[in-house]
A = this chain, B = another copy of it.
Amino acid sequence: MNSAHSQWFEASIAQLNDLQNLRVWSIIVSLFGDLAQRPGDQISGTTLTRIITPMGIKPEAIRVALHRLRKDGWIESERSGRASVHYLTGFGRSQSAAVTPRIYARNPQVPESWHLLVAEEGNGQGSGRSSGQGNGPDRGQNALEEALLLPQYISINRSTALGHGTVPTGLDDLFVAVVSDLDAPRWLQARLFPDDLVQACQLLLAALRTIAPPADISAVQIATLRTLIVHHWRRIALRHPDLPDRFHPTDWSGETCRALVFDLLDRLPKPTLEALDQSPPTP
């Protein structure tokens, strides 16, 4: 590997590292989700270290993070002689699988069929002030709060929820309106896509634009870059619902970011676990 190449790789890492403080355990979750999510997939300790240390993370920090992930039931580790291998537990796999469709959606299906649930009156102070008598307005407020626990509902204000998909039946205490068209005002856009998320997205976009992988990049280097890209994208993708354009603030760059993420992942095709274990060491 020539020196220009090595500089390119380090510069790309630096761009992606600058974005925010990296939590090592969270990086490892992104890594397994991207490279070793299937049952039977396992990654050697050596390979894991070779993928992660270029991010400026020390082997000791990786060991601490793996310990935490084992304690939380995400990861199991096995020793064979001096080597160790790590793999997702059933729980870890199911947690990972649950968010994979949202992280890896190139063209997310944005909901177009909406309905509104409106309660008689917001109770002003949240559910804590319930009179306990189960009167009409309280029952409506409770029904609304229950709906808002479901992923397909967005809170519009204290007494209103916007949902997509099938209109529920049996919500007798709520005014239910099927929506055929809507216009999201700025305050709603700002609630769904808060400023710090908009900004994180713009920073990731700027970083991604600097990355043009050369042809002769190694499998481990691909894994490092993929992990960082997926990790940052995951923190954006999972923080906002997939919504049509009219819900986006004018400065929302999420969809451009998404396009660039998948363009880069295409140009950095996922290495097999065998290729990673056999990848020659970086000079």
Contact = CB atoms under 8 A, between A and B. Distances in A.
B158 A172 contact: no
A229 interface: no
Interface in A165-186: 172-186
A174 B180 contact: no
A249 to B, nearest CB: 13
Contacts of A158: 121-122, 159
A221 interface: no
A176 B118 CA distance: 14
Q: How many copies does the complex hold?
A: 2
A10 to B, nearest CB: 45
Interface in A112-138: 114, 116, 118-122, 124, 136-137
Interface residues of A, number: 34
A37 interface: no
Contacts of A227: none
A160 B122 contact: no
A173 B157 contact: no
A148 interface: no
A29 to B, nearest CB: 36
A116 B177 contact: yes
16 contacts: A114-B177, A116-B118, A119-B157, A121-B122, A121-B157, A172-B186, A173-B187, A174-B185, A175-B183, A175-B184, A176-B185, A177-B177, A177-B179, A177-B183, A178-B181, A178-B182
